[in-house]
Structure 1
Amino acid sequence: MSGTPAAGAARPVIVIAATPTSNGDLHVGHMAGPYLAGDVYARYAAATGRPVVYTTITDDSQTYVPTTAHRLGVEPRELVADSTARIQRTITAMGLSMAGLPPVDDRYRATVLDFFTRLHADGKLRRRTVRLPYVPATGTYLYDGLMKGICPSCLAGSAGGVCEGCGHPNNYDELLAPAATTDPDAEVTVREAEILVLPAEEYRDRLTAYYAEREGRWRPNAMRLVRELLAGPLPEIPVTVPGTWGIAAPFPETPGQILYPWVEAMPAVMYATWWANGRDGEPAAETDAHWRAGADPELVYFHGFDNVYHWGFLDLVMLMAHGDRYALPESNVVNEFYDLRGEKFSTSRGHLVWTADLLEDVPRDLVRFYLSLTAPETQRTDFTVEAMRAATGRRLVGPWNRLADALRAATLADEPGPRPVSGEGRTRAAVMAARFRSCYDLASFSPARAAETLLIHLDRLVASASAGTASTGDLLLEARTLLAFAAPILIDVAAEARAAGVDLRTDAAEPPTEISPFVLPRLPDSARPDAALAGADGRAPAGV
């Protein structure tokens, strides 16, 4: 994927899931948001013949690492190592099509520093004197997860940096009634500090044009927040802060400061893309090659509503500040919050289900299907283990296995060899493909609609097989079409079919006139009761 694509080559795709903070594992709320959706899109794009890299990287510099470590009584670096291993375990268990989690090493830090030293050399950063909350007793400046207070935009409780509820930023001394997270009773004053910033207002015209061009590809709530941001003065994005946990800032104007943790994300995922793409034979200076405008990648970000400001605005400003060096994202696919029994997932309260624990008790395809079906795409949705078991058993596993058994019986009853497909069968297969593509294509991407479309056609094919109203060839073609377009979600049953020689590509020009018999793999039943999923009932499961 490096360099300029060859003439006639398929446009490369880079799919980025929001960088997970290394202060714990990924719970079901995380997985139902960006991580599974990004995998579904990456797998679909690959099935159409496009080169795809799907990646992310742990966000080790976030302030939530030392604050969580303080709460747990462990060293921050110990927490990072343990959390990274847990996140990697969960990524593997869920079958996400990533090469793995890249190491946060010297090559990573060199990539990050090169990104900002270039901006500094180009005169894009500005010196500003700002007012920051400050704890005199410890000499600590407060920002992001180091403090909590009241959001000035919506008056909800909020951490520093951005409000999780309304999505608006609250940099510097904007958070009302600030308190230190690790010592809420400590005296908090305000102290001036000179830092480097990137003024977003200087990019207003380009930002406005960018959002106007892509508005139809963004989900409504995310675009509403963007419009609210554009309606007022645009923020000055901190690039350095007086902190101790993070990458040391190399600029002479700000001795002793670190890079503001949130600005690492863009160069971080550039590095992750390079690492995931093979990383052999390319010098450190080329770790951003896949993101350059000349490579013409389709960049797609997957993240939650609480990260619209960061991934949809702050990171965009940083790319634009480099002039025309980098491609800009085609879209940000933004999810809302996924609740557990009507309340937000909460690690601190133990109100959660770890993804890895769920996967130990429920077959992976069923978890992927149910999280896709109930994903919080445009509004908050709710998860319970009981609802998942009931829905997957009644709506998916039962009908799917009845279709598999019917197809097996039909093919055994006929003579061997390819079966002819009627014109009506080819038309139905083409209609199915078109409906699925409308679910997976970026402009209208919706794993929830894809999962529901799967159920609609599954019920139709079971009824057709039971009534004997379709020929064996027609049933086989339509079942194969169903399987091919279910493959981004049902990865294990698809892998079993591919291993048996079933062609599951989705880029065929038109349906075939005949089809060879194949076995539709059966889906496993949901496993034993909720023994390992006590977190769903309010008791904290094991883990960080």
Structure 2
Amino acid sequence: MSKFIVTITPPTPNGDLHIGHLAGPFLSADIFTRTQRQKGHDCVLVSYSDDYQSYMLRRGREQGREPAQIGEENTRKINLSLKMAGIEVDHWMRSLDNTCFRDAVLELYHQGVNDRNIYQKTVLAPFCRACNVWGYEAFGRGQCSSCGQDSDASQCEECACAPNYLYMKNFRCKLCGGEHEWVEKDHAYLNIGKNVHKLRAWLGDSAVRLNSRAFVERELAPTPEDWQITRHGDAGLDIGQPHLGKVHTWFMGMAGYIAATREHFTVNQQTPELFDSFWRSDDTTLVGFLGYDCLYSHGIAYPILLAGSPYAKKKQRLYTNMFLKLNGLNLSTSRNHAIWIRDLVSDYDTDSVRLYMALLAPEEQESDFVETQFVEWHQTFYQNTLETLTVAATQESPHFWLDGMQRNEHKLLCEVYNRWSAVTSADSFSSRNLAALAVELYEMAYERLQAEQPLYYLVALASCICAPITPTLSRQIQKRCSINEALVLDNLMNANFLDYSI
């Protein structure tokens, strides 16, 4: 049995979650965790609210409210949306004024200082005197210094780089549109350049999607810029060094995952030994699910921070996703071009939303959610086809789940075994390919129904493979058809069916 720490990048609690969040890291992390548990592995899935995000200050200013109040209100909405979508996070931590969080941040920060990976230098910082704000992230915007696209001064959504505001063109105050003053300030920096060889070794040992691997390799050549990790007059956590400012939220992500796990085991479950068994063991794999725009912090900064800490992980896996469009256009809450998770799962069966979003998962490239296509698919496949198959399978009721399999289909089972093993592996996981495999099996079963051939074993296999994606639906099908999921999975994991003689 293996151990996995599964993490989801924390959303900023300045609003609720839309379907882009679901199709991205949230659903994939949930499916991964369910799949590994289905295979007998030990997992803990954690995330937290990004309360120290610079955007919380701007939202508070826009609404004339305290950012903490807005964060608390939206965190409740976020948790409700996740619950409605069947996303089962083992622990969701509030980071604001959280002792576990602060301790973990300071631990990694001081470890970085001791390892000489964090140093100080004086650089110019952008300040808008008219608005009395510093333009580090939420209050400054211009053209990314790497790709030239419109971006804030922190993480570029287009190319995933960390823009350097000193080299951004047309860089102006987000509030008034005016130019910033430039003020000399001391800042802390993470030394990327001295760790290039360590990062290349980490990349060689870790499972990272091809587009993400290419990004990290590109960032490391020829000479990467070091990363500013503190800001003045902005959101962040006080580290007791006011001349440097506060560490910003992008630096604190890995500390957040450590703190959420510690709080889960030591506070909620009163089992501190389990925290050690996960985080201080070389046998544990750290698996992160994140948007492509979070790749710089997770693929470059965090491996450096972890390497010198007690939480260093030899086995790490990063699963990034690209963006989901809505009816051909980018999702935008400001333009009211979005569908909220809670609205979609209120109008349609939750498992249908989960399955469709898994099929659309923008793992390597952008995908598009078209409402009319989803409505048609929901009616024809999810409601009609699956119900027809379930009724037909109940009429077969074989003594063993492989009864009715034809001899010439032995090759099909071998292919299913190989594909399922690959898409559920921690090294090559894909919720999209897992969903596609299950749907293909259901469609094969429907073809056999049309040909008046036995289909029970295909329905049994599909319902078990799809259980991490459609847990309620799969349980219903298995109950109605007397399918023993434990037996099917045992046969699948151990390939026992390959020796089954008809």
Give the TM-score taking structure 1 as reference length: 0.83
Query: 1:26 aligned to 17, 22, 31, which one?
Result: 17
Cα distance change of structure 1 residues 328 and 243 upon mapping to structure 2, 3 Å threshold: farther
Return the offset for 1:462: 2.0
Alpha-carbon deviations, 1:233-263, whole Å to 9, x = none? 2222223221342221123xx4472112211
Cα distance change of structure 1 residues 29 and 140 upon mapping to structure 2, 3 Å threshold: same
Task: Work out whether residues 142 and 151 of structure 2, in 8 Å CA contact, stay in contact via their aligned partners in 1.
Answer: yes
2:472 corresponds to 1:492: yes
Q: Which moved more, 1:297-306 or 1:441-450?
A: 441-450
Paired letter, 2:301 = L
Query: 1:147 aligned to 128, 140, 153, which one?
Result: 140
Q: Which residue of 2 aligns with 1:520?
A: none
Q: Write the distance in 2 (CA, Å) between the matches of 1:298 and 1:431.
A: 27
Q: Write the distance in 1 (CA, Å) between the matches of 2:257 and 2:277.
A: 11
Alpha-carbon deviations, 1:296-337, whole Å to 9, x = none? 211111111111112221222221243x64115522111111
What is the Cα-based RMSD across aligned positions, in Å? 2.7
Q: Write the distance in 1 (CA, Å) between the matches of 2:7 and 2:401.
A: 42
Alignment of 1:190-201 (within 5 A): 190-201=182-193
Query: 2:461 aligned to 481, 494, 519, which one?
Result: 481
Alpha-carbon deviations, 1:370-397, whole Å to 9, x = none? 1111111211111122211112322333
Q: Write the distance in 2 (CA, Å) between the matches of 1:328 and 1:311.
A: 15
Cα distance change of structure 1 residues 446 and 188 upon mapping to structure 2, 3 Å threshold: same
Identical-pair percentage:
23
Cα distance change of structure 1 residues 419 and 20 upon mapping to structure 2, 3 Å threshold: closer
Alignment of 1:503-514 (within 5 A): 503-505=484-486, 506-508=489-491, 509-511=494-496
2:114 corresponds to 1:133: no
Return the offset for 1:293: 4.8
Paired letter, 1:227 = E
Q: Which residue of 1 aligns with 2:78?
A: 87
Any stretches of 5+ residues in structure 2 without a counterpart?
A: none
Q: Write the distance in 2 (CA, Å) between the matches of 1:374 and 1:511.
A: 32
Return the offset for 1:46: 0.7
Q: Which residue of 2 aligns with 1:17?
A: 8
Task: Work out whether residues 33 and 303 of structure 1, in 8 Å CA contact, stay in contact via their aligned partners in 2.
Answer: yes
Give the TM-score taking structure 2 as reference length: 0.90
Q: Which residue of 2 aligns with 1:519?
A: none
Q: Write the distance in 2 (CA, Å) between the matches of 1:341 and 1:141.
A: 36
Alpha-carbon deviations, 1:120-153, whole Å to 9, x = none? 3454421111111122345533212221111122
Task: Work out whether residues 31 and 469 of structure 2, in 8 Å CA contact, stay in contact via their aligned partners in 1.
Answer: yes
Cα distance change of structure 1 residues 97 and 502 upon mapping to structure 2, 3 Å threshold: farther
Task: Work out whether residues 205 and 314 of structure 2, in 8 Å CA contact, stay in contact via their aligned partners in 1.
Answer: no
2:232 corresponds to 1:232: no
Q: Which residue of 2 aligns with 1:299?
A: 286
2:170 corresponds to 1:189: no
Task: Work out whether residues 144 and 160 of structure 1, in 8 Å CA contact, stay in contact via their aligned partners in 2.
Answer: yes
Q: Which residue of 2 aligns with 1:525?
A: none
2:249 corresponds to 1:261: yes
Q: Write the distance in 2 (CA, Å) between the matches of 1:494 and 1:167.
A: 37
Q: Write the distance in 2 (CA, Å) between the matches of 1:332 and 1:367.
A: 25
Any stretches of 5+ residues in structure 1 without a counterpart?
A: 1-9, 516-544
Q: Which residue of 2 aligns with 1:344?
A: 330
Q: Write the distance in 2 (CA, Å) between the matches of 1:419 and 1:245.
A: 57
Q: Write the distance in 1 (CA, Å) between the matches of 2:312 and 2:225.
A: 22
Q: Which residue of 1 aligns with 2:197?
A: 205
Q: Could you say what secondary structure the match of 1:442 adopts? A: coil
Q: Which moved more, 1:107-116 or 1:29-38?
A: 107-116
Alignment of 1:273-422 (within 5 A): 273-277=261-265, 279=267, 280-281=269-270, 289=276, 292-322=279-309, 325-328=311-314, 330-411=316-397, 421=403
Q: Write the distance in 1 (CA, Å) between the matches of 2:72 and 2:405.
A: 58
Q: Could you say what secondary structure the match of 1:161 adopts? A: coil
Cα distance change of structure 1 residues 256 and 307 upon mapping to structure 2, 3 Å threshold: closer
Q: Write the distance in 2 (CA, Å) between the matches of 1:458 and 1:346.
A: 35
Paired letter, 2:259 = Y
2:109 corresponds to 1:116: yes
Return the offset for 1:64: 1.1
Task: Work out whether residues 14 and 71 of structure 2, in 8 Å CA contact, stay in contact via their aligned partners in 1.
Answer: yes
Cα distance change of structure 1 residues 282 and 184 upon mapping to structure 2, 3 Å threshold: farther
Q: Write the distance in 2 (CA, Å) between the matches of 1:274 and 1:334.
A: 25
Alpha-carbon deviations, 1:61-95, whole Å to 9, x = none? 01011112223343211210111111101111111
Q: Which residue of 1 aligns with 2:260?
A: 272
Q: Write the distance in 1 (CA, Å) between the matches of 2:450 and 2:31.
A: 31
Query: 2:451 aligned to 467, 480, 488, which one?
Result: 467
